Every structure is written in C-alpha cells, then in structure tokens.
Amino acid sequence: MAVSTGQVKAAGGAARGSRRDSPGRLRRSIATHWYAWAMIAPVLIVMAALIGWPLVRGLYLSLTDATEANIGRTIGVNVIPATYEFVGLDNYLQILTSSVFWDKLLWTVVWTAACVVLHYGIGLGLAVMLNRKLRFRSLYRVLLILPWAVPAFVAAFIWRYLYNSDYGVINGFLKMAGLTGVGWLDDPTTAKIAVIAVNVWIGVPFMMVALLGGLQSIPAELYEAAEVDGAGPWQRFRAITLPGLRQVSTTVVLLGTIWTFNMFPIIFLVTRGGPGSETEILVTYAFREAFTGIRNYSGSAAWGVIILAMLVVMAVGYRRTLRSQGDPW
C-alpha cells in the first residue's frame, strides 16, 4: 500500500513532538499527582539515607585499601586522619583470584539451592494438605506458621541448644534409644546438614502460606471438570495446580533465593561459621572481614559489592527467562 510523503512527514513530526513532550509529561504527572509524590517522598528520603548512602560509601571503600589501621577515627580529643589510598580494582581481583571465594561461593550455591528446593517442596505439600477439608485445619495452620513468627536469632539459639553434643535434646533422644550421640556442629558434613535443617524449619511456613493463597485462587470448577473427564489426582495436580501456581511460585522462589543467599543469622549464630570456616557463606565471610582481626573494611566492602552484583544478575536473568516463556511477571 502506498504511503504519501506528507503522511510520513506527519508521522515523523509526531514522533519528534512526542519525544519533546516527555519532560512536559513528567511535569504534568507531578502537577497532577503531587499528593502521591508527597506521600512517597519521606519513604524515598529514608531509603536514600539508609540504603543509598551506605551503598555508595561501600562501593567507594571497595576501591581503596581501608583497614582498621588507616581509617580516620577520633580517640578522646585526638583526631586521626584517614591515610587509606585509592587502589582501583585490586580488592576485586584479589577476591576473584582466591580459592577462598570460590569455595565459599560453591557452598553458598549448594546451601541456597538445597534450602529453596526443600522450602518449596515441603511448603507445596503442606499447602495442598491444608487446602483440603480437614478437622482442626485452622489449628494446623497456626501451628505450622509458628516457626515463621519466631525471630531468626531466637530460633538459631534454640536450635544451637538442641544440637549441643553433651546436653542437646536431639542427642538425648538418641541416647534414650540406645544410640550414640552425634557431634552435630563438630563435623563439617553434619554441621552443613544442621544449618540447612534450621533454615528449612524457618522458611517453610512462608512458602506454605504463599502457595496456599495461590491454591485458593484456582477455580474449583477446573478440578470438577477434570474429574468428570476422568483425570486422576496426579493429572489434575500437573495440569491444573502447577500451572495455576506459576505466578505465585516464580515470585516466592525468587524471594526465597535472595533471602537464603543472604541468610546471615542462621549460619553465624548456629555454627559461628564452623567447624573452622566450613559453613561460612559469602555474607558471613564478608562480615568477618570487617569485624574480626585487623578489620579489612575495603575487602569486606568488595565482598558485599560482588554479592550484590551476583544477586542483581540472577534476578534480571530470572525475570528475562520468565518473560521469554510468556510470564507477565
């Protein structure tokens, strides 16, 4: 179909006019919705102060050689100026070329994958169970949500006591059964299993509640129609339940991955990163760099920036994969 030159010019002029009007559109939006902007302004200011400034400061420190010995500080009336220097990407190169980083990254990935898979699998099973008509269903829901209501540091201290080799409740039951007690936190393998179990105990209720909400949003008519057509329980689960939970599942899996990747209190309070440093994940190791021994603030900041970069790349890649599969999330 032929298009006249005048129409092409008009279309081009409209496009250029649209680009020129973009700032005007923003000003009109602010003028029209000034109340909404005013309501979110305090939140933006607080986030900039609590998140933005520390992030910028950490990024700057990661490019220096700042340690406890050369950072500026005040002792009484004496002000000692900072003497650290800009070193560029040296901290990043040192971290990425060290075996410690790759060892901690491997364990962090294993820890995150194991916890998220168990969170989702157990949470989905409990959600399916609670979505049925059961006696005392409300009581079961309350009891299963309790671990989520307990603060992480309290749960960590409770489980550390349960795992105690001499006085722990778990070893007490084993001895009552005529078995030998286990040094749960003394061996690298059992210590890793122990912290995974604690994190699963804490994280399953969130998955269960989120997936239960997703299950209750699936129309019951779909199950009835499938049952009439002769579909069995497994076929209904695979063809109706899993697709119906797709949007909820993608969100909770992403959140669970980010939370577990950065789950500092469980590792630090249950095993202290031990035995040795076998259960240290990336975030606990970054903490130790900054707050133990000769405090290496620049190295810890570089670890933090690397962790943030990995999570951002993972989240962006995850979203792009979902969009390529037709998910609107």
How confident is residue 328, by pLDDT bands cut at 50, 70 and 90? low
Three-state secondary structure of the chain = CCCCHHHHHHHHHHHHHHHHCHHHHHHHHHHHCHHHHHHHHHHHHHHHHHHHHHHHHHHHHCCECCCCCCCCEEECCEEECCCCCECCCHHHHHHHCCHHHHHHHHHHHHHHHHHHHHHHHHHHHHHHHHCCCCCCHHHHHHHHHHHHHCCHHHHHHHHHHHCCCCCCHHHHHHHHCCCCCCCCCCCHHHHHHHHHHHHHHHHHHHHHHHHHHHHHCCCHHHHHHHHHCCCCHHHHHHHHHHHHCHHHHHHHHHHHHHHHHCCHHHHHHHCCCCCCCCCCCHHHHHHHHHHCCCCCHHHHHHHHHHHHHHHHHHHHHHHHHHHHCCCCC
Most confident of 18-27, 44-53, 317-326: 44-53
Q: What is the pLDDT of residue 34?
A: 81
pLDDT in tens, 187-240: 999 999 999 999 999 999 999 999 999 998 888 888 888 888 888 888 888 889
Q: What is the pLDDT of residue 3?
A: 44
Asked if the model's pLDDT at residue 95 lies above 90, the reply is yes
More confident residue, 209 or 140: 209
> What are the residue ranges spanned by the domains of the chain?
2-61, 98-292
Asked if the model's pLDDT at residue 8 lies above 50, the reply is no
CATH 1.10.240.10 fits 98-292, yes or no: no
Q: What is the pLDDT of residue 11?
A: 44
Q: What is the pLDDT of residue 152?
A: 87
Q: What is the pLDDT of residue 2?
A: 44
